[in-house]
């Protein structure tokens, strides 16, 4: 998939679709990263959340992820530790899918 990188300024993120699958592209320090665009908790679109450095925080319940690796940093903010462990066991609390990003002129190639 090719995406025009012109509208993705440093410190911002956009959502694009790969078929019907939302993908989040973030510009962190001039480098581009792409991860799954949906939070695994309640299927909220991460693009509506906040990006601070390389951390995107889900707008619905506060789960946070590192956009450079897809790694989950914290799970749902309002959840007790026990419920968070159950969520992890059930597969809800998981890392985001990552995509390879290659710059090609004014475009980014995602794979």
Query: Which CATH number fits the domain that encloses residue 32?
Result: 2.102.10.10
Q: What percent of the chain has pLDDT over 70?
A: 95
State the total domains in the chain.
1
Predicted confidence (pLDDT) per residue in 57-86, tens digit: 999 989 999 999 999 998 876 666 677 777
Evaluate the CA torsion angle 78, 83, 89, 90 in order and state its sign. Answer: negative
Residue 92 has pLDDT above 80, yes or no: no
Q: What is the pLDDT of residue 9?
A: 96
Cα–Cα distance, 34 to 37 (Å, whole number): 8
Cα radius of gyration (the chain):
14
Q: Determine the pLDDT at residue 79.
A: 66
For residue 61 the two structure tokens come to 């319940």
In the numeric block, which tokens belong to residue 10?
């440093």
Query: What is residue 15's predicted lDDT score, i.e. its pLDDT?
Result: 97
| Residue range of the domain that includes 28 | 2-110
What is the CB neighbour count within 10 angstroms for residue 59? 15
Residue 39 has pLDDT above 80, yes or no: yes
pTM of the complete model? 0.88
Question: In this predicted model, what pLDDT tens digit does every residue of 6-29 receive, in sequence order?
Answer: 989 999 999 999 999 999 999 999
């Amino acid at each position: 998939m090719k995406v025009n990188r012109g509208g993705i300024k440093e410190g911002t993120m956009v959502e694009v679709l790969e078929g019907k699958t939302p993908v989040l592209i973030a510009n962190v320090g001039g480098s581009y990263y792409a991860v799954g665009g949906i939070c695994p908790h309640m299927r909220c679109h991460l693009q509506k959340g906040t990006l601070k450095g390389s951390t995107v925080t889900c707008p619905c319940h506060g789960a946070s992820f590192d956009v450079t690796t897809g790694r989950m940093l914290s799970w749902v903010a309002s959840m007790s530790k026990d419920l968070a462990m159950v969520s992890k066991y059930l597969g809800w609390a998981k890392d985001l899918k990552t995509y390879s990003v290659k710059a090609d002129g004014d475009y980014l190639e995602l794979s």
